[in-house]
A = this chain, B = another copy of it.
């Protein structure tokens, strides 16, 4: 992948343009509430259900935007991507819809459903060992061999602009509902989703704090925000939140996030699984562990919400039956 030094954060207009590209292609996902959830948390909680997005996560938005903005001649040879699963499915879906080939580098331990769904879209999957291989280097070698561009999962202005359309929709749905949120909580891996959302809200709904929610074992963005510079965690991150395993913030995403994010919340595996159970009971939504990180931050009181109006972005729902059964057995429910 080309360095990001020459890449600039997307501005609000770029996100508006991404929304135009996505119109009629991506779902406008609903902003949901539940009396049971509000009673449970003592708050007014609105859930942006990106698990209901095409391919089961917000990643479709960035992949479509990124690939749509490739020069035609560059796009038609196909694309390469690296991903633990959700970006893989999204790129595979976009490639299929646009009738171009896709090759996806995926860790060997990615959830089976994510690999199966990627292959079902017709993409070639190239597995690598997350513990030993450098995924970016692995994907770059693939891209060189195939003479195809890489679709970066987060550290690219067009990817960030696409993910930022989640923020545009939140702002317009809040206006339609007549609500003004006190805070927004967003699951955070490489930081592309939250960078896009915070950029969009900075113009469309300014003054609302946007909190990143990360696995406690992968709190690279939280540490980096505290340090004021990108901190790389030692060794690979292990967490049930397979969508949030980044060990260092993206260069471009952190350039955005360090300026505009509020404080972060570090989530344990048990808290993520419990939040999945809450989503099952109160919202009738299937969330994957990483997709539930925002809700987990509220339920664990790591972003205080009592008496407040908050928005939790539920970023994805691609979870194996086995992991979901673990969440159903999660203790601590009422």
Instruction: Identify the A interface with B (CB < 8 A).
Output: 27, 30, 32-36, 39, 51-52, 54-56, 93, 113, 117, 120, 277, 280-281, 283-287, 317, 321, 324-325, 328-329
Instruction: Please tell me how many copies of the chain the complex holds.
Output: 2
Q: Is the interface of A mostly helix, strand, loop or mixed?
A: helix
A52 touches B35 (CB 8 A): no
Closest residue of chain B to A279 (Cβ to Cβ) is: B286
B93 touches A35 (CB 8 A): yes
Most buried by B among A280, A284, A325, A328: A284
* Shortest Cβ gap from A154 to chain B (Å): 22
B120 touches A280 (CB 8 A): no
Question: What chain B residues lie within 8 Å of A277 (beta carbons)?
Answer: 321
Q: Contacts A285-B285, A285-B286, A286-B286 given; indicate if A35 touches B51 (C-beta within 8 A).
A: no
Q: A35-B54, A113-B281 are in contact. List 7 more A-B contacts (CB 8 A).
A: A27-B32, A27-B33, A35-B55, A52-B283, A283-B286, A284-B285, A324-B328
Distance in angstroms between the alpha carbons of A93 and B285 in the assembled complex: 21
28 contacts between A and B (CB under 8 A): A27-B32, A27-B33, A30-B30, A30-B52, A32-B52, A35-B54, A35-B93, A36-B117, A36-B120, A39-B120, A51-B284, A52-B284, A56-B284, A113-B281, A277-B321, A280-B286, A280-B321, A283-B286, A284-B285, A284-B286, A284-B317, A285-B285, A285-B286, A321-B328, A321-B329, A324-B328, A325-B325, A325-B328
